[in-house]
């Protein structure tokens, strides 16, 4: 059973590492938003895709390991990790509890910063659309969907300006 709880601890560490990397990307994204660094924001898209896939893979591996541990202990494969802690050695429980708590804290932080970044990006798009409507008042049409969402479309191509001289 030592190897099983150790493997479970390893899977939790992997999950913490992947969520930490994803959190770092969200923090970098937020810094890019504040710096108005659109080029770097676009570069981060592929990094986000890879980090999200890696985090998902780490979570699935941890869940599979948890199920295997539970079944090996005569419990349901759907048992939660916390419910399995009493089945672990006394010395292993604090480590596993700390790792579980760290995963939960990281998930909470990821959700919070993802929401913040979403709001910042949405505000940026709204501001840009507002500026474009100010500069080109007759070009854009705002419509509302049945669900109350707004949509802005360009009725004509934007005029181009050329520098004089």
Helix 2-35 to helix 38-72 angle (10° resolution) is 160
3-state secondary structure of 101: helix
Domain membership flag for residue 165: no
Domain membership flag for residue 131: yes
Q: How far apart are CA 47 and CA 44, in angstroms?
A: 5
Higher pLDDT, 156 or 79: 79
Domain membership flag for residue 95: yes
3-state secondary structure of 69: helix
Domain membership flag for residue 159: no
pLDDT digit string (tens) for 129-155?
888 878 877 777 777 778 877 776 766
Q: How far apart are CA 58 and CA 39, in angstroms?
A: 30
Residue with tokens 């770097």: 40
Residue 66 sits in a domain of what CATH number? 1.20.58.300
What is the residue-averaged pLDDT of the chain? 89
- Can you give the pLDDT at residue 2? 40
Domain housing 36? 2-154
Domain membership flag for residue 163: no
Domain membership flag for residue 164: no
Structural domains in the chain (count): 1
Domain membership flag for residue 18: yes
Q: How many CB atoms lie within 10 A of CB 83?
A: 13
């Amino acid at each position: 059973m030592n190897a099983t709880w150790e493997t479970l601890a390893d899977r939790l560490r992997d999950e913490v590492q992947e969520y930490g990397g994803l959190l770092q990307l969200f923090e970098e994204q937020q810094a890019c938003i504040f710096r108005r660094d659109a080029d770097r924001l676009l570069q981060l898209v592929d990094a986000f895709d890879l980090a999200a896939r890696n985090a998902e893979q780490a979570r699935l591996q941890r869940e599979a390991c948890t199920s295997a541990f539970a079944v090996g202990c005569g419990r349901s494969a759907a048992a939660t990790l916390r419910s399995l802690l009493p089945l672990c050695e006394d010395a292993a429980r604090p480590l596993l509890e700390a790792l579980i708590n760290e995963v939960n804290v990281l998930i909470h932080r990821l959700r919070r910063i993802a929401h913040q970044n979403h709001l910042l990006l949405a505000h940026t798009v709204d501001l840009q659309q507002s500026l474009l409507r100010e500069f080109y008042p007759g070009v854009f049409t705002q419509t509302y969907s049945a669900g109350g969402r707004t949509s802005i479309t360009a009725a004509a191509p934007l005029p181009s300006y050329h520098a004089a001289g």
